[in-house]
Structure 1
Amino acid sequence: MIGAPGCARSPKENGLDFVLARLLANLPVRAADIARMGAGGLIGEIVTRPQPREEPPEPAPAPIAALVLAAGRGTRMGGPNKLLEPVGGRAVVRRVAEAALAGGARPVIVVTGHDGARVRAALDALDVVFVDNPDYAAGLSTSLAAGIRAVPDEAQGAVVLLGDMPLVDAPLVRRLMATFAPEEGRLIVVPVAEGRRGNPVLWSRRFFAALAAIEGDVGARAVLAAHPEAVAEVEVHGPGPLLDVDTPDALASARAFATDA
């Protein structure tokens, strides 16, 4: 008489199959024989076991996306497209996209508009997703809304980066993501440099609808101000979160800092 264990109900090969094979071959089945069958983990865990012998693996955390807003005309700069100007040997917008990628955000979504073909060319070979904003002339808010709509459902939040801030780097993006903790109330993460809040800002999905509803050539300051209880600040040393290249002087400053670095 053989007492069959619960695993015998499984169609997969299991320990009972090994025992039956020995019996049918007229081989003895001793305690030592059964022990050898289990050497090296031969008999695997059964997923339907009521009390598994092993703890199930921790689920992977939901991804955090990044939005690079790179659709504007940059009229204050005058002349060339500021996003394509070189800083430290790379186009401004490429530096921003590379910081998002190296910081671990996925996917990295780049919103284009003005000079879109050249902006895309400047990001050649980068693992980014492009979203075109035909309404870019109506202001920054339209690019933000276009980017928010493109964030995949599985993302728990998004880092919003301005395409004209070339000194934002991967360590800053990583720090924002490490500080983000929705279960602890840290739903919005903002860098602070020299006592001032800057960019990029990491937003929980909870605020996506409010961000997409912003109108005009403005950012998300009003949404930020309306939810102080959800904000966590990250202290940053250096000009990265504050310096955008809106003017020739600002571009020169960015180049100087990039050279010093």
Structure 2
Amino acid sequence: MSPKPLLVAAVLLAAGRSKRMGRPKQLADLNGQPLCLYAAQALAEVYSPLLAVIPPGAVGEGIRAALAGLPFTFVVNPQPELGMASSFRVAAESLPAGLGGAAFALADMPLVSADLHAKLLSAFRETNAPVVIAAYGTGEDAVRAPPHLLRADLLPELLTLPDADHGPRRIIAAQGKSVLTLNFPAAMLLDVDTPEGLKEAWAALKERG
């Protein structure tokens, strides 16, 4: 009888300040539901346990309410103004012990599907690669972007991320050729930062049916 695989957690990074949107984008209406719920639902179909990093105050409470039907544990980033690295540090401090790894996804990427997450997780379990990441598009035009799945031994390194780092790029780069990259359609790469981006997401979801 083969040993049971270690749990792989998922982290929803939802503490952004929405400067370019002009209002809390996590709670912006997208086809009748809050923007953050799309990314959260996709994670919840694949991963357990689930963690959401949220900002303090009313926006954070709004996110809690939006995700109330999903089994997320919430942790507050008290200083989201420090940037994305601060949310990675908060997540790393809050993840439970005994994990095999953790995937990190952005709350403002509503076109990332549960199928994409399932493929990342399957590749990780099959290879035990230190990092499994998504790339959108093909060839030289492919763009590496979240979600990222990091093996457990790399998670403590997130605690050392300086505020100047947008995310774990240096940690990923240090793994060199051991990083496993899976390619997905370029159309899935939509990071909703502006009202125009929200309109694009709405149109893409309508096309998807």
Counterpart CA distance in 2 for 1:63 and 1:73 is 31
Which residue in the other structure is 2:105 paired with? 161
Q: Which one-letter code corresponds to 2:51 in the other structure?
A: I
Provide the secondary structure at the position in 1 that maps to 2:133: strand
Counterpart CA distance in 2 for 1:87 and 1:64 is 29
Counterpart CA distance in 1 for 2:151 and 2:27 is 30
TM-score scaled by length of structure 2: 0.90
The change in CA–CA distance for 1:185 and 1:119 in structure 2 (over 3 A counts) is: closer
Q: Compare the two structures and name the one with the higher helix fraction.
A: 2
Q: Which one-letter code corresponds to 2:129 in the other structure?
A: R
Which residue in the other structure is 1:152 paired with? 96
Counterpart CA distance in 2 for 1:124 and 1:181 is 29
Match of 1:256 among 180, 200, 203: 203
Structure 2 residues without counterparts, runs of 5 or longer: none
Which residue in the other structure is 1:228 paired with? 176
Q: Shift in Å at residue 118 of structure 1?
A: 0.9
Match of 1:96 among 34, 39, 48: 39
RMSD: 1.5
Q: Which one-letter code corresponds to 1:255 in the other structure?
A: W
The answer (yes or no) to whether the contact 2:131–2:179 under 8 Å persists in 1 is: yes
Q: Shift in Å at residue 69 of structure 1?
A: 0.7
Query: Which is higher, the Rg of structure 1 or of structure 2?
Result: 1
Match of 2:163 among 216, 221, 229: 216
Q: Deviations 1:65-116 (Å, cap 9, x if unpaired)?
A: 00001112110111x21111122332111111110011x2111100111511
- Aligned length, in residue pairs: 201
Q: Which one-letter code corresponds to 1:162 in the other structure?
A: L
Q: Deviations 1:203-260 (Å, cap 9, x if unpaired)?
A: 11121122221121511112222212221011112422x2111111111111111111
The change in CA–CA distance for 1:121 and 1:219 in structure 2 (over 3 A counts) is: same
Q: Compare the two structures and name the one with the higher strand fraction.
A: 2
Q: Deviations 1:103-132 (Å, cap 9, x if unpaired)?
A: x21111001115111111111221111011
Counterpart CA distance in 2 for 1:154 and 1:210 is 16
* 1:177 correspondence with 2:125: no
TM-score scaled by length of structure 1: 0.73
Q: Which one-letter code corresponds to 1:227 in the other structure?
A: Q
Structure 1 residues without counterparts, runs of 5 or longer: 1-56
Match of 1:109 among 30, 37, 51: 51
Which residue in the other structure is 1:74 paired with? 18
Q: Shift in Å at residue 185 of structure 1?
A: 5.4
